[in-house]
Every structure is written in C-alpha cells, then in structure tokens.
Amino acid sequence: MTIDINPDRSRWQDLCARPADTLERIGEHVRDIIDTVRRDGDAAVESFTARFDGVTPPYLVIPPTVLDEALRDLPPDVRHAITVASHTIRSFHAAQARPPVVVRTVPGVVCRLETRPLSAVGIYIPGGSAPLVSTVLMLAIPARLAGVGTIVLATPPSADGLPDRTVLAAARLCGVDTVVCAGGAQAIAAMAYGTERIPSVRLIAGPGNAWVTAAKQVVSADGIAIDMPAGPSEVLVLADDGARAEFIAADLLAQAEHGIDSQVMLVTTSARLYQDVNDAIQRQLAALPRRAIAERALENSRCVVFDTMEAALDFTNAYAPEHLIIMADGDEGLSARIATAGSIFLGEFTPESLGDYASGTNHTLPTGGWAAVASGVTLDTFRRTVTVQRADADGLARLSQTVVTLARAEGLEAHAQAVLVRSTGTLAYTPPTVLHANEVPNGVLGAAIGRYPDPSRQAVLAALSDYAGVPTDTLAVGNGSDELIDLVVRTSCRDAECSIVLPEPTFIMYRHAAQLNGTRVIPVPPRSGRWWNVDDVLAAVEPSTALILLCSPNNPVGYGIPAADVIRLLEKTTATIVVDEAYVEFSDAPSLVPLAATTDRLIVLRTLSKAWGLASLRFGWMCATPQRIATIRGAQAPFTNSEWTLQAVEWALRTQHDTVQQTVADVRTRRETLLHRLQSLPCVEAVEPSQANFLLVRFRSFEAVCSALEDAAVLVRDRSAEPGCDRCLRISIGTSDELQRLITILEPLP
C-alpha cells in the first residue's frame, strides 16, 4: 500500500483513477458475440459456453427438478443463513414501496405519479471461485417485491457442467422463473434479445467481469435497461486517529479478495494509522485462502493522509467510492457531508461485509466513480414511474389561457387548438354565483374562509384514501379523535343496558365518552407483570357489551396490542372492537386500517396530532366498513372541521409524508437512547418498553423526583393514580437537549 500525504488537488484525478474503459478495450469482440447470439439463438449460446467455459452443460435452461434437488441438498446452516438474510433484505426493500402521489394542481385538475413494475428482468450471477449467492437475494427479492412478472437468472457452469448448487438453491427459494446455464457476453445477449428457450427481458442487473460489463453497455444502446455502470469492486475507509487498525485492515482485505483489480483505499487524518494498518494487513493476510488475489489487489491500493478532515471529505467525494466505511468521531455528521457514495457504513462495528450479506441494504452498487451520479439497486430499479392526469371542464378552463399563450409563443398552433376546440368559445373560468348561502360573500379573513367548508370533506377524504390505501367510503374525519370516540359510543351504545369493556390503564377520553352517553364501563385491571391479557378481556365481556375500546400503542404504557389478539376478540365476541392507533407511526407493528376497511365490527381510530405534529388543527380520522362509516357520518354535524384545517390536512397528506417518516425515525432513536439511559439511573425502578413517543417510568423515590422536576420546570405526566401505574411518570420524547436536561436532573437522585 503506497502513501500520499496532503497531495495537491491537481493530483487528485490521478489518485482517483480506475481501470481503462471496458467497452473501448474489448468492445468489438463483445459486439461479435452479441450479433451471433441474436442471429443463431440457443445454438450460439451453447457454442460460446463450450468455447469459453470449456464444458458442455447438459442443460441450457435448468429444469425445475434440478433446482429442487439443489434446494434439498442445501446444508441446513446455509439455508438458515439465506433465510435470515432474505428476511432483512425483504424488510428493508419492502419499506421502499410508496403510495401514488396525487396532487390537485388547480381545482378540476388532478395529477398522479404512479409506479409500474417491469414485465421481465434478467439477473446475472458470476461463477468462478466465488459464486455470488448473496447477489441472487439482492436482486431477485426486490424484483419480486416490485411486482416483476418474469425473472430470468443467468449464471455460468462449473466444471461438472452445472452452475454452483447454492446459487441454484437460492434461485429456487427466491422464486426465479428461468435459470440459464450460461455466462459472459453470450448470457447478456440471450437475456436482452431472447432465444428459442430464453425469454427476453426489459432490464439486466448484476455484476460481472469486463466482458459482462461491456455486453451490458452494448445492449443498453438497444433500449435494454441496465442497473448501473459497474466495474471492479472497491472500498474507501475514512478514518481518524481513534480508529482501530485491525478493523480497517480486515475491511480492506475483505474487498481485496474479490479480485486482483479490486480497489481499496484508506483516507485518514493520521499518518501513524498508515503503518499500523499495514502491519495488521500482513498479519491477517497469512490466514486468507485467497491471499494471492488479495496481495495482487493491494499492490494498487493507496493510503492518502490529510491534515484536516475537511480535505479528507473533499477527496472522498472526489473518489466517489462504491463502499464507504467511516471510522471517525462524529461519523453521522461526516456521513451527512458525503454526496457521492454507493453505500455508507458507520462506526467500527459496521463492516462492509455486513451490507454484502445481511444488514438488508442492497450490495449491487455503482463502481468506478459512477457513485457520483448513479444509485445502487433499490425497489425502484425494477419499476418505472408513469404520470396520470385528469381534468374536468372547469379545470381545463382554468388553465386554457396559459396553455394557449405558451403554445403560440412556441409557434405550435395545433397545441393551442387542442384546448380551444374543447373550450366552446370561452377561455375564462367563471366561478358559480353563490346566492343561496347564509353567510356573507367575503368575511374579514377573505372569501375562502368566509364560506362554510365542504360538509362532505371530499378533498381530504381523497388524500386520506391515497395515504391509507383504502376507499373513501371506509373513512370518516372529525374534530380530533375525541369527536370520533364520542360518535362511535353514541352510534354503538343506543340501548340503556349497553356496556363498554375498557382494559386499563388507558386514554381517559374513552371513559368520559361513556359517561356522557350514560353507558356503563366494565374496567379490566392490569395483571401483575403484564399490562394486557386477552383472556381477562374475554372474561369481562357480557352479552350486552357493545364495544371493547383498545389503545394500541397504549397510552400511557406504550405497549402494542398484537393483531392476533384483536382478531381473537372479533371471533370470540359479538362486540365491536375499537383500536385507537394514535401512536401507531412510532410502532414496529403495521396499522390495522386495511383490516378495518373490510372487517365487520372493527373500527380503527387515527390522528394527525402525534407523528404529524398537527395537534392544534384538531383533526382525527377513522376507518371501518362502508356501512359503519355511513352510520357515523349520519350522526355527525356537517362543519366540525374548519376550511383552514381541511386545506392544511390535505396539503400535509399530499406533500409531507417523507418529512413525517424522518421525524418518526428520529423520535424512535431518541426513545431507545432515553430508555437505556433511564435504566442506568439509581432513582429509576423500571422503564416500560414503548412503541409510542413516550416512556412510562416507575421511580423509587417518586416524591423526590416529582419535586426535582417541578423545581426545574420540567413538565411530565403524573400517571401514578392509574391502575398498575403506582409511582409512574409518563415522559414524552422531546429534543435531544430537553432529554439531556431531564437526565441531568435525575442523575443525582437516589
């Protein structure tokens, strides 16, 4: 490993250089192979395989029986590892699914952005001495999640004429449709254009040697999409003087053993670290089976030392590494300043091999500096977006003058006429003349607020429908969850003998709504050591019980109620089950909204007050079957939400989903940090694990804690009077500074 200390910026381009362009070196040979496969089909693929791989495989397309045999012979430990890795990969990529974007750009014009899966994709899996079984998972799982119709996998034969058996088993587990026993440029051509037995595909993904990379570039000129430009694998480690040399050496060697052309780079602010890493590399090399390959790769490796982290960051962005490992103080802040990396690994316990196999992120990443402009494989790799728009006559009229003016400015009269022919002679939008209203035309806050809002709340219901993924007739909205709770109780408990079963502790408004309606409450106290038990609830249910009111995640404890328990209550009782999901965004469990839309006697309540941070708007919503929703709407006053509320909610639902997801992620991180810090304090007896944005904490010296917090003007909720909550305070997850102040006050208390 060579070393450069504070290299001048004029040398950075040379230091960041990769191998020469693949297509220029072997392009003509690759084109000949591709043209032959296009002309001669299967025969050409088989001929090239015999020529380049030195074997004649018994199958060009692997039969299902051979795949099944490979799966049966898979060692149990390997199958278990594949299963675990598949779960993490599937979890991370499934979360990338996104609902359609629906925007009413002007009244009467609605534009949508929707995704469509590709019809067929090809996956290339290299063979040789290191068959990349993990790449099967990294490509086939996201393709299936994206909804791809046909997955074709190509991989070269081994010496016995069949591909690596673990690759075949993984392909079977991942639901690959066609497995082709061929590699190199001939396999890329077969998938790109199709042969007698090999389906053609729309996109080809996966790593390969120079011939595979060149072939992907050639077929892309014919409209076959490729995942990204790819070359030899590479890693850059960014480290300061606190990094551990043994860890850095292991990460550099992990990348170097891929191949002799692999790129490994150490960028550091510590000249001493260079020698320590070099020594560690020599110690670790001796134990590697692929030592010779790693040593060849290390001949071209570099260590670049800078006096400042600022310069080190600039160089890292200039290099644009496929993999970037940051082992330096303040790694999160440093990561935020990286604009050009395929995948980033933070901290000393996050080796690059974790992402290669099992963390869940995708290891198919741009190399050769392409990380500056290209991204790694995601769910979107296997989908395309399409825009959809619809205008009604009023919407067209509102925009017609704009279209006609711009079309004529460009000299495109036919474009203008396409609008004019529909406008029936008028280009101006004429709003209705409102003479039937009780209110004045223009109030002190303007015309929009001077009129009553739409009593049917159609725009907000449409936005909620897109957000929640359920029809509008399964949704109702109201003035906060409090109004909806009251409506549910009023419409469900019409008999004087009705009762409501209420597991405790829980949100106080349930009991208030029951009392205002004159409905008897049957409390279910918590068990010692367990907050909620479905058998206890079932035992409390009477023939007259109309409602079972559940809060999940529970307020004030924070536990989530398993969906299986809710389903059991539906099966074992005739009561309506109400699940209040005010805090569900902070939970690991999915919402029950989709189930409520199709299940009798299940109602789910939601709010925008918690995760969305819109408490002062007083907006709540609920999901149930259309019959139940019709009953709720029939009992509801028409104008319980103001026009400003409705407009703000629609805007938030249409535009702020990503912001809310980031907010929730930040709160969850601070919640877990606070939980661990509280558990270490002498004054804390217990902290309940929480799926909400608060923690319920039981204190040993309760009065002393309350007094100290009151003196310091730190406000928390006293829940000590509630069942099971003796000596408990509910602490909401505030900012990092607020939580640090809380810890500072509590630390000295006994």
Q: Between the CA atoms of 623, 624, 626 and 630, what dihedral angle is there, to the nearest 10 degrees?
A: -80
Q: How far apart are CA 337 and CA 275, in angstroms?
A: 28
Give the separation between CA 746 and CA 750, rounded to whole angstroms: 9
User: What contacts 204, CB < 8 A, 6 or more positions away?
Assistant: 121, 122, 123, 124, 188, 191, 192, 216, 219, 224, 225, 226, 227
**Cβ pair 595, 588 in contact under 8 A:** no
Of the candidates 203, 184, 181, which has an alpha carbon nearest to the alpha carbon of residue 192? 203
By DSSP bridging, strand 684-687 and strand 717-718 are: unpaired
The verdict on whether 93 is a catalytic residue reads: no
* Element containing residue 236 per DSSP (H, E): strand 234-239
Pairing of strands 178-181, 150-155: parallel
Clarify whether 657 is annotated catalytic.
Answer: no
Q: With contact defined as beta carbons under 8 Å apart, do 265 and 235 qualify?
A: yes
**Angle formed by the axes of helices 413-420 and 393-409, to 10°?**
160
The single residue listed with the structure tokens 């008028």 is: 426
Residues in the chain: 750
In 737-747, which positions are buried (b, 16+ CB within 10 angstroms) versus exposed (e)? eebeebeeebe
Q: Which amino acid is at 86?
A: S
In this structure, are residues 251 and 351 in contact, taking their beta carbons and an 8 Å threshold? yes
Please tell me which residue in 322, 504, 650, 722 is annotated as part of the active site: 322
| Contact (CB, 8 A) for 210 and 22 | yes
Angle between helices 508-516 and 480-492 (to 10 degrees): 50
The conformation of residue 498, written as its DSSP 8-state character, comes to -
Would you call the peptide bond into 505 cis, given omega within 30 degrees of 0 as the criterion?
A: yes
Q: What is the spatial distance between Cα 218 and Cα 210, in angstroms, rounded to a whole number?
A: 12
Which residue among the candidates 234, 323, 650, 722 is catalytic per the annotation? 323
Residue bearing tokens 């004054």: 683
Residues carrying an active site annotation = 322-323
